Amino acid sequence: MLGTVLRATGAYRIYENRLTAQVRKGKIPEHIAIILDGNRRWAQNRNYSVEAGHAYGADVVENLLDWCHDLGIRSITLYALSTENLKRSPEEVQELLKLIEERLRKLLTDDRIYRYRVRVKGIGKVEFLPESLLATLREVEAKTASFDGHYLNIGLAYGGRAEITDVVRSIAQDVKQGKIEPESIEEETIANRLYTAYLPNPEPDVIIRTSGEERMSGFLLWQSAYSELIFLDVYLPAFRKIDLLRAVRTYQKRQRRFGR
């Protein structure tokens, strides 16, 4: 309701501009990660269908590209679909996968992807995805593989424990084949095999979760060791640019010591 009133009076735009000016005076995070949460509860509160909630949330995600580009945030990692999400009702999973495929296909012709030179990559156990969705993802990845202006990582069938397990298996296989010695395994050995290793800044500066829930849900367990965590009491479909700006402002007020 407040957001509607602000927009209707023009006060929202004034507040957004003021926040933007404040944030631009501080250090802008190079990499943000967002746990996308709250679509179903937002829909239920409005007597909408679950599918409508997911669709409204997807619209917000599309706006994120512009918001982050405007602020100079180079990398975005989104937790869009966890391995646990795949255990929901078959009807909801089918609709959600269909929506994700539709939005990925839109990226193929989205002018911003090419104008901003956004490299798009799916991270997770993507082999679990339906063949059609996986084919669309691979097409988007191939068309943007040479871009290095911005990075958009989309967690699909993602689980942080599964990611680390895959890394352990990979290292164990190399040890078995005599490619590396156990004594030579260091933190960097693991970090270089994670899904985000290709990024110029693989560890998020800040991780945002929408919906009011305050947990990581297995998201980027290794990479988040020193990320600033910000939990917002707003469902994803209601997430606005000022919410992103407030999160960045909160990040800027914190002192990052990295354990020192």
Q: Which residues are catalytic?
A: 37, 85
Asked if residues 160 and 125 have their Cβ atoms less than 8 Å apart, the reply is no
Edge-to-edge strands, sheet with 228-231? 118-123, 150-158, 75-82, 31-35, 206-209, 228-231
DSSP H helices, the chain, are 2-9, 11-24, 39-45, 50-71, 90-107, 111-115, 131-144, 160-176, 187-191, 241-253
CA dihedral 260, 151, 127, 187 (to 10 degrees): -20
CA distances to 22, 193, 256 from 202, in Å: 26, 11, 17
* Spatial separation of the C-alpha atoms in residues 119 and 76, rounded to whole Å: 10
Among 193, 260, 248, which residue's Cα sits nearest to residue 73? 248
Asked if residues 104 and 137 have their Cβ atoms less than 8 Å apart, the reply is yes
SS3 129: coil
* Spatial separation of the C-alpha atoms in residues 243 and 14, rounded to whole Å: 14
* Spatial separation of the C-alpha atoms in residues 142 and 119, rounded to whole Å: 9
SS3 72: coil
